[in-house]
Homo-oligomer: A and B are copies of this chain.
Amino acid sequence: MRYRKIPDETIKRLPLYVRHLQLLMDDGRSRICSNEFAEGLCVNPAQVRRDLSFFGNFGKPGVGYDVKKVLRQLRNILKLKNVNKTALVGVGDLGSALLGYPGFLQLNFEIVAAFDNDPKKIGVTKNNVVIENVSKLNLIKQKKVRIAIIAVPPEAAQQITERLVEVGIVGILNFAPCYLTVPKKVKVINIDIAMDIARLPYYLPR
């Protein structure tokens, strides 16, 4: 394998591979070939082989891939081996749902701090996390949290973002329906639910 820039599209698929490998392992499978693996994920087998080959020669010709080994490698590449401490800003309906979302824990993410500006919510404990006033975002620095989830209204999102960057956040999962401006070192991933549903009618018949 020679060095090449790893495509973003590859990185997007790796978590899917991790989840599927986890299922295979739970099923007691120890080996898998690219054909069967790809079929389970509805992707092209060559795609799987190329994606994996960016990171090393994980497979054995004539045999396939060792489920456990590839799983370990991918977790390592994605930096999911150690707990990723995460802060949540905005504990409305969506934020509350995210606080209890089991998918995060499965991937080794832990929400260790939550913030809101509603006096009625501050001090309340939800899913073992005490909701703090947004004025106390400094707690993020103390707790050395580097990842934040933004679930506030769009008007507030940019200001919150800037304060999050100040206290050391370098990765943001943004649920607010707006574009965030951040320094180059900070990575933002946007989840814009309304934008996704908005293109659904286009594809429908009649």
- Cα(A78)–Cα(B98), bound, Å: 29
Interface size band for A: 35 or more
Cβ–Cβ < 8 Å partners of A41 in chain B: 179
Could you tell me if B170 and A103 are in contact, using CB atoms closer than 8 angstroms?
no
Of A9-17, A57-65, A112-120, A130-138, which stretch is located at the interface?
Answer: A9-17
Could you tell me if B189 and A191 are in contact, using CB atoms closer than 8 angstroms?
no
Could you tell me if A187 and B171 are in contact, using CB atoms closer than 8 angstroms?
no
Could you tell me if A179 and B14 are in contact, using CB atoms closer than 8 angstroms?
no
A156: Cβ under 8 A from any B Cβ: no
Could you tell me if B194 and A189 are in contact, using CB atoms closer than 8 angstroms?
no
Could you tell me if A93 and B97 are in contact, using CB atoms closer than 8 angstroms?
yes
Could you tell me if A101 and B19 are in contact, using CB atoms closer than 8 angstroms?
no
Name which residue of chain B comes closest to A203, CB basis. B187
Could you tell me if A193 and B79 are in contact, using CB atoms closer than 8 angstroms?
no
Nearest CB in chain B: distance from A107 CB, A: 5
- Considering only residues 155-196 of chain A, those with a C-beta below 8 Å from chain B are 170-173, 177, 179, 185, 187, 189, 191, 193-196
A201: Cβ under 8 A from any B Cβ: yes
